[in-house]
Structure 1
Amino acid sequence: MRFTFRCVDPVADAPLLHSWVTQPYASFWGMLSATEAGVIDEYAKIQASGHHHALLGLDGGVPAFLMEEYLPASSPLADAYPVLPGDAGMHLLVAPPSGVPEPGYTTAVMDAVLARLFAKPEVERIVVEPDARNTKIHALNERFGFRPAGVVGLPDKDALLSFCTRDGYLAARATLPTLEPSARMESTRPEALQGAAAL
């Protein structure tokens, strides 16, 4: 697996994150007008919350994407749907390419993120709630087995609530030719997913 993960350092990583979240392509992240101080404050709160955590995905040691994992029961989603044991929430922001975009890169990133989450035995289902207008992420989510459950009103947006089970992810993954065959996972057992997460 080409990607590894490390925890976000709110202060040290603020300049980098600020350079990502304030670009027009990241408009749905909701931080276009953020300052570096605002980024520090936001990620310090996330890292101290106990139920929400931010990680940088590294490609060869170089930061390539930002992922957040959280407990839906401790988020605004708790009032939007009946949270089940084993639900895990996820946010993803891929960094802008530094050169010519690599075909299939975002697909590979999404695969690494989902594999990491499903490597946890307690995770049965991944929940996402992107902005209802964000058609690009809806399409990517669908390719990986997410199924929409309808639009819900959250404090900061109208979101398309979608769910992906471990079996749904593995079934969808098997249909994606851009993923390296050597990394394909044939088992739904958590231990099989742990190797693919490469943590």
Structure 2
Amino acid sequence: MSATTAIGPLTLRPLDPVADGALLHTWVTDPKAAYWMMQDARQEDVERAYLEIAADEHHHALLGLHDGAPAFLMEYYDPAHRELVGLYEPLPGDVGMHFLVAPTDRPVHGFTRAVITAVMAHLFTDPATERVVVEPDVSNTAVHTLNEAVGFVPHHEIQKPEKKALLSFCTRQQFAAATGATR
């Protein structure tokens, strides 16, 4: 995937759990990534977690680049097999998603919104994707606002083993209406 946005080009490439492990470790253990729940992880813990994802046919991780430099992480998964099993009734075409923007000392206005928009556009390039599902922590109001800006509609709270989450959905049509995306 490659998209030119107001903040510059964003691209995605497959994540290499070992080669990208040190970088990911700095991202997921940063205080700004508290909702990623890996604050105390060691580098080998992060590598192991992403090696497990790489080996999982129902869960995938991509590294996002901004102007060619690593800048965000995207995960997507089949909620009928991972993360949300037994917590809601998945529909055909549902895809679960997580994203994490790298911590920075020089934030760019609009960057996170451009990232989530590019992530969603990427997911909807697959014609089989009908709806994207997210389950952020109920207390993460910043991401709820961001999710709604790209078309997510909150459905209800669910209790996951690690958190109380707000289950939200975004159809292809809701994404297009919220962002003007034509795909």
Shared fold, TM over 0.5 = yes
- CA–CA distance in 1 between the matches of 2:106 and 2:13? 25
1:137-148 equivalence runs, <5 A: 137-148=143-154
Q: Which amino acid aligns with 2:153?
A: R
Task: Give the deviation of 1:102 after TM superposition.
Answer: 1.1
Q: Could you tell me whether the CA contact under 8 Å between 1:64 and 1:94 is conserved in 2?
A: yes
Match of residue 84 from structure 1? 91
Give ranges in structure 2 of 5+ residues lacking alignment: none
Q: CA deviation at 1:60?
A: 1.5
Structure 2 partner of 1:168: 174
Aligned pair partner of 2:127 in 121, 124, 138:
121
Partner of 1:155: 161
* Cα distance between partner residues in 1 of 2:113 and 2:83: 28
The corresponding residue for 2:80 is 73
Larger RCO, structures 1/2 (Cα 8 Å, 6+ apart): 1
CA RMSD of aligned residues (A): 0.9
1:39 to 46, 57, 70: 46
> Could you list the runs of 4 or more consecutive aligned residues of structure 1 that deviate by over 2 angstroms after TM superposition?
none
In the alignment, structure 1 residue 17 sits paired with structure 2 residue 17? no
Partner SS state of residue 74, structure 1: coil
Q: Paired residues, what number?
A: 176
Deviation readout 1:68-116 (Å, 9 max, x if unpaired): 010000113120111000000000000012x531111111111100000
What are the superposed Cα offsets for residues 171-193 of structure 1, whole Å, 9 maximum, x if unpaired?
0013xxxxxxxxxx3x3xxxxx3
Q: Is the 8 A contact 1:47 1:54 kept in 2?
A: yes
In 1, distance between residues paired with 2:24 and 2:45? 11
Alignment deviations for residues 124-180 of structure 1 (CA, whole Å, 9 cap, x no partner)? 000000111111100100111100111101111111000000000010013xxxxxx
The gaps in structure 1 that reach 5 residues or longer are 175-184, 188-192, 194-199
Q: Which residue of 1 aligns with 2:60?
A: 53
Identity rate, percent:
52
Higher strand share: 2
| TM, length-normalised to structure 2 | 0.94
Equivalent position to 2:70, from 54, 57, 63: 63
CA contact (8 A) 1:76 1:155 kept: no
Q: TM-score, normalised by structure 1?
A: 0.86
Tell me, in whole angstroms, the C-alpha distance in 2 between the residues paired with 1:48 and 1:156: 23
The structure in which a higher percent of residues are helix is 1
CA distance in 1, matches of 2:121, 2:89: 24
